Amino acid sequence: MRHINVTIDDEILREFRDVIYRKKGLRRGDFQKSLEEAMLEYVLKYAKSEKTKELAKRVKKEKS
């Protein structure tokens, strides 16, 4: 597992957190899980390699 440090527009972050709150609530770890889910969806949509897409599908299945 890795830690990342990023700068995100305040409005986008606020909206993302609001969506997470409405979808899942405010339990510990919800933000991390939602961010991982969003990243997996992005990889599934835009990855060029089928191997990468298969990896993302496998990880997504394991997490659900």
Q: What is the pLDDT of residues 19-56, one digit of tens each?
A: 999 998 889 999 999 999 999 999 999 999 999 989 99
Structure tokens at 4: 């990342």
In the chain, the number of structural domains is 1
Residue 39 lies in a domain: yes
CA distance 23 to 29: 13
- Model confidence at 64: pLDDT above 80: no
Tell me whether residue 4 is in a domain: no
In this prediction, residues 57-64 reach a mean pLDDT of: 86
The model's pTM is: 0.79
pLDDT of residue 47: 92
Q: Is residue 15 part of a domain?
A: no
- Domain span at 56: 28-64
Using alpha carbons, select from 62, 23, 60 the residue that is nearest to residue 40.
60
Q: What is the 3-state secondary structure (H, E, C) of the chain?
A: CCCCCCCCCHHHHHHHHHHHHHHHCCCCCHHHHHHHHHHHHHHHHHCCCHHHHHHHHHHHHHHC
- Does residue 32 belong to any structural domain of this protein? yes
